């Protein structure tokens, strides 16, 4: 059914737009003391030190008295790939590492739930703001106010249109930390 597939693609587009919005407001609101690297001299992580950068982000949050339960870190695909090359995450033998090998995911590391996103804010595709934080840092609300099926005027068939509203605000910039990093 083409309408069902179009609605799935639209739902993905709505999530993607909201994700970009949240990434933008969070990266702009990180407390200046909670940033590792800079846009002038970004850090260049390797598979050997990607984990250490996560530990450093965790240390910044510890020093800001951010609770350890519920911390998250959003990384771009290339950083996620570095973590998958680290033997500490993918060596076989434990249930957790076997799951990583099977699913290709880094679920948790350095006290963070690791999330992968193509919407990690970056400057010209070169300087990425790898964000870490806690849910108390931001607030977010969304709602689909209206969803209507209708008949397009110049075509046969059915169409759907809707109104998706969302908003968010950073409440505690000290509960966020960022690593400004470059691939190379």
Q: What is the pLDDT of residue 150?
A: 86
The whole-number pLDDT of residue 102 equals 57
**CB of 120 closer than 8 Å to CB of 129:** yes
Q: What does the alpha-carbon distance between residue 141 and residue 165 come to, in Å, rounded to a whole number?
A: 8
Instruction: Give the span between the Cα atoms of 135 and 146, in whole angstroms.
Output: 28
**33 touches 178 (CB < 8 A):** no
pLDDT of residue 98: 60
* Ramachandran class of 40: left when φ > 0, alpha when ψ lies in -120 to 50, beta otherwise: alpha
Q: Can you tell me the distance from the alpha carbon of 23 to that of 106, in angstroms, rounded to the nearest whole number? A: 20
What's the pLDDT score for residue 83? 87
**Furthest CA-CA distance within the chain:** 61
CA atoms within 13 A on the CB side of 177: 26
Q: What is the mean pLDDT of each run of 10 residues along the chain (184 residues)?
A: 82 92 95 94 93 95 95 93 80 60 64 90 87 96 89 84 92 96 90
Rg (CA), the chain: 19
pLDDT of residue 100: 54
Query: What is the structure's pLDDT at 69?
Result: 94
Judged by phi (left if over 0) then psi (alpha if -120 to 50, else beta), residue 21 lies in alpha
13 vs 124, 139, 150, CA distance in Å?
Answer: 22, 21, 20
């Amino acid at each position: 059914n083409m309408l069902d597939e179009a609605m799935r693609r639209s739902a993905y587009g709505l999530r993607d737009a909201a994700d970009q919005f949240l990434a933008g407001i969070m990266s702009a609101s990180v407390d200046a003391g909670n940033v590792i690297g800079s846009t002038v001299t970004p850090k260049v992580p390797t598979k050997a030190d990607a984990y250490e950068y996560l530990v450093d982000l965790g240390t910044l949050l510890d020093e800001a008295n951010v609770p350890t339960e519920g911390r998250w870190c959003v990384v771009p695909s290339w950083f996620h790939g570095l973590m998958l090359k680290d033997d500490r995450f993918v060596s076989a033998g434990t249930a957790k590492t076997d799951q990583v090998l099977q699913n290709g995911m880094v679920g948790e590391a350095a006290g963070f739930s690791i999330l992968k996103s193509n919407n990690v804010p970056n400057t010209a595709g070169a300087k990425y703001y790898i964000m870490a934080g806690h849910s108390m840092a931001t607030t977010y609300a969304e709602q689909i106010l209206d969803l209507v099926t209708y008949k397009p005027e110049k075509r046969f068939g059915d169409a759907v249109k809707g109104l998706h509203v969302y908003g968010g605000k950073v409440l505690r910039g000290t509960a966020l930390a960022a690593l400004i990093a470059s691939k190379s």
